[in-house]
Amino acid sequence: MSIEVKGLSFRYGKIVALDGVSMKLGEGAVGLLGPNGAGKSTLIRILLGFLVPERGEGKVLDYDIRRDQAMIRRSVGYMPESDCFVAGMDAVTFTTYFGELSGMPRQEAMKRAHEVLFYVGLGEARYRLLDTYSAGMKQRLKLAQALVHDPKILFLDEPTSNLDPNGRTEILELIRDISTNKSIQVLLSSHILADIESICGSVVILNKGRLAAEGRMADLRAIKYSLFELRLKGDGEAFRKDLESLGCRVDEMEDRLIKVYMPEKSDRMDIFRAAARTGVQLRYFVKSQTSLEDLFAGVVGVD
Residues interacting with other proteins, by CB under 8 A?
12-13, 15, 45, 48, 50-51, 69-71, 73-74, 76-78, 80, 82-89, 93, 97-98, 100-106, 108, 112, 115-116, 118-119, 145, 147, 149-150, 177-178, 182
Phi-psi label, residue 54: left if phi above 0, alpha if psi -120 to 50, beta otherwise: alpha
User: Nearer Cβ to other proteins, position 177 or 252?
Assistant: 177
**C-alpha closest to that of 90 among 110, 104, 70, 105:** 110
Listed residue (205, 206, 258, 269) closest to 232, CA to CA: 258
Nearer to other proteins, 97 or 225 (CB): 97
* Cβ at position 187, least distance to other proteins in Å: 13
For the CB of residue 160, give the shortest distance to other proteins in the complex, in Å. Answer: 18
Exposed / middle / buried, residue 107 (Cβ in 10 Å: 0-12, 13-18, 19+): exposed
Q: How far is Cα 112 from Cα 47, in angstroms, rounded to an integer?
A: 26
Least distance in angstroms from the C-beta of 125 to other proteins: 17
Measured from the CB atom, the residue of 46 and 212 that comes closer to other proteins is 46
Angle at 46 between CA 4 and CA 297, to 5 degrees: 75
Distance of closest approach, residue 87 Cβ to other proteins, in angstroms: 5
Least distance to other proteins, CB of residue 119, Å:
5
Report the distance separating Cα 188 and Cα 40, nearest Å: 10
Kindly tell me which of 110 and 238 has the beta carbon lying closer to other proteins.
Answer: 110
Q: Are 113 and 135 in contact (CB under 8 A)?
A: no
Angle ∠(189,193,199) on CA atoms, nearest 5: 70
**CB of 102: closest distance to other proteins in angstroms?**
5
Q: Closer to other proteins by CB, 45 or 210: give it.
A: 45
CA-CA distance, 206 to 52, in Å (whole number)? 19
Q: Considering Cα of 104, then 107, then 113, then 116, what sign does the dihedral take?
A: negative
User: Looking at beta carbons only, is 74 or 249 nearer to other proteins?
Assistant: 74
Kindly tell me which of 86 and 135 has the beta carbon lying closer to other proteins. Answer: 86
Q: Report the nearest approach of other proteins to the CB of residue 101 (Å).
A: 4
Upper half-sphere CA count for residue 85 (Cβ side, 13 Å): 25
